[in-house]
Amino acid sequence: MTHTPVAHKPNLPVGKTLLPVGKILKGDCISEMQNLPDGAIDLVFADPPYNLQLKNTLHRPDQSEVKGVADDWDKFSSFAAYDSFSRAWLSEVRRVLAPDGALWVIGSYHNIFRLGAILQDLGFWILNDVIWRKANPMPNFRGRRLTNAHETLIWAARSQKSRYVFNYGSLKALNDDLQMRSDWHLPICGGKERLRDATGEKVHPTQKPEALLYRVLLASSRPEQIVLDPFLGSGTTAVVAKRLGRHWIGIERDATYRAAAAKRIAATRAIGADEIALATPQEKREEKRIPFGLLLEHGLLRVGDVLTDPTGRYQARVRADGTLIARGQSGDVKGSIHQVGAAVSGATACNGWSFWCLPPKTTTSEAQTRTKATHAKATHAKAKSASVKKSTRQPVVLDNLRRQLRARLESQEPPATRVQAKQ
Ligand SMILES: C[S@@+](CC[C@H](N)C(=O)[O-])C[C@H]1O[C@@H](n2cnc3c(N)ncnc32)[C@H](O)[C@@H]1O
């Protein structure tokens, strides 16, 4: 199969400003974000300096040195200095986020509580904190504290009013059809995924696992949205964005990391334009609502059609206004597909979409006879005789007719463009 990668849209227009999509911006994230327009970004993933405050060299029991994060970019003179830096970059994040945008920020006990307080002070609306429980954490070599086996992510909407993206169904499907919880058990980045230089040293001390970013982006963004990472490091966010058909912008001030990230991103296979639909979440609540009556208006059902339950035990006929009529224990029952389903089967509630089926096609003359009938009792008698006719074809559940109609209607709708969505 030929593979057409999704074209990067460099300089994607948002209003009158061109966005540097698919690029690693070099420099300080605060000043680089200042060049981006208000409200241009859909999602931010940030893995900022943790301010680990490491002072002494740490050794393993075999005396080998633990390579922690000893880089200058992680050092701040005080908590106040760290807070002021955090406030500055988070304020810029908030400005560049679209009104319905959201942010993920990851940290450890060293910094995450400070970040949480600043987020709330700035007007972000915290949606969840997620514990990334490391499957293979580094032991506590000195044995003076618990093994530090997790990091924390905060997921926050730009404001309380934001209609943020949450692909609930996608995460549930990813989790074997169980609602996704807020504790994620994932290994730290290792093996082939871990970038190493010619001497075997890690290229970046805090390269995050792609699996973590996969979950974040799948949960809270859609294909072709713009994801910004202001601390791109080795490029993990961009790599996963490319794999999932999201646009990305990265900022990194270290030239070595930028070069490693650029090489890694270039080697990543982008999702094909023909595969975008596969990466698009099919969320139930986003699906077009199809009232039962629409099946009549669009000719998938006709007035007088006989519906049966899957066993053929109960029957009802379709009325012009999108209600059903059936013979109940104490006379005729009229109402919605759900009400009539519940009444005939004696249940307290019923999902009419899965209860009622359209039996295999009947002949035109039968249909004509049925549509002429006006009296409810007469219609029941004829319905019964029509449905008694045996056929080898399978009944069609109403839900399938609804799906057919939804697909038909969606294919007729003009696709919403990004620029339209922003207006
Ligand atoms: C914790 S690491 C991010 C690692 C990244 N998530 C990955 O998977 O490789 C933070 C990165 O931010 C960069 N950085 C620190 N301060 C910065 C700043 N003010 N502006 C831009 N980049 C910065 C560092 O060079 C470092 O690569």
Domain assignment present for residue 417? The answer is no
- Do 275 and 328 share a domain, yes or no? no
3 state DSSP class of 32:
helix
How far is it, in rounded angstroms, from Cα 111 to Cα 90?
14
Side chain identity at 108, as an amino acid letter?
A: S
Number of domains forming the structure of the chain: 2
Mutate to test the pocket of ligand 1, among 231, 248, 257, 265 (most ligand atoms within 8 A of CB): 231
Tell which of 286, 303, 319 closes a domain.
Answer: 286
Structural domain for 250, as ranges? 12-54+69-286
Q: Does one domain contain both 260 and 303?
A: no
Dist. CA 7 → ligand 1 center (Å): 27
Write out residues with Cβ below 6 Å of ligand 1.
28-29, 47, 49, 73, 204, 206-208, 231, 233-234, 236, 251-254, 257
Tell whether 282 and 332 lie within a shared domain.
no
Residue 1 maps to a domain: no
Kindly report the protein residue whose alpha carbon is nearest to atom 25 of ligand 1. 254
Do 73 and 38 lie in a common domain? Answer: yes
- Give distance in angstroms: CA of 159 to centre of ligand 1: 25
Q: 218 and 317 share a domain?
A: no
Which CATH number is 145's domain given? 3.40.50.150
Atom 19 in ligand 1: residue holding the nearest Cα: 28
Task: Out of 236, 269, 286, pick the residue that ends a domain.
Answer: 286
Is there a single domain that holds both residue 279 and residue 343?
A: no
- Per residue of the chain (423 residues), what is the pLDDT tens digit? 344 444 444 455 555 457 999 999 999 999 999 999 999 999 999 999 988 766 666 666 676 666 666 677 878 989 999 999 999 999 999 999 999 999 999 999 999 999 999 999 999 999 999 999 998 898 888 889 999 999 999 999 999 999 999 999 999 999 999 999 999 999 999 999 999 999 999 999 999 999 999 999 999 999 999 999 999 999 999 999 999 999 999 999 999 999 999 999 999 999 888 888 888 887 766 667 899 999 999 999 999 999 999 888 999 999 999 999 999 778 899 999 999 999 999 899 999 999 999 988 654 444 444 434 434 444 454 444 444 444 456 789 999 999 899 888 877 765 443 333 332
This prediction has a pTM of 0.69
Distance of CA 233 to the CA centre of its chain: 24
303 and 359 assigned to the same domain:
yes
**158/372 Cα distance (integer angstroms):** 59
Mean pLDDT score of the chain: 85
User: 326 and 233 in one domain?
Assistant: no
Same domain, 353 and 228: no
State pLDDT tens for residues 5-22: 444 444 555 554 579 999
Residue where one domain finishes, among candidates 225, 258, 286? 286
Q: Tokens standing for 333? A: 């029952």
Question: How big is the CA angle at 103 (ends 211 and 77), to the nearest 5 degrees?
Answer: 95
* Atom 2 of ligand 1, nearest CA residue: 233
Taking only the tens place, the pLDDT of each residue in 274-284 is 888 888 887 76
Query: Do residues 345 and 216 both lie within one domain?
Result: no
Same domain as 302, residue 279: no
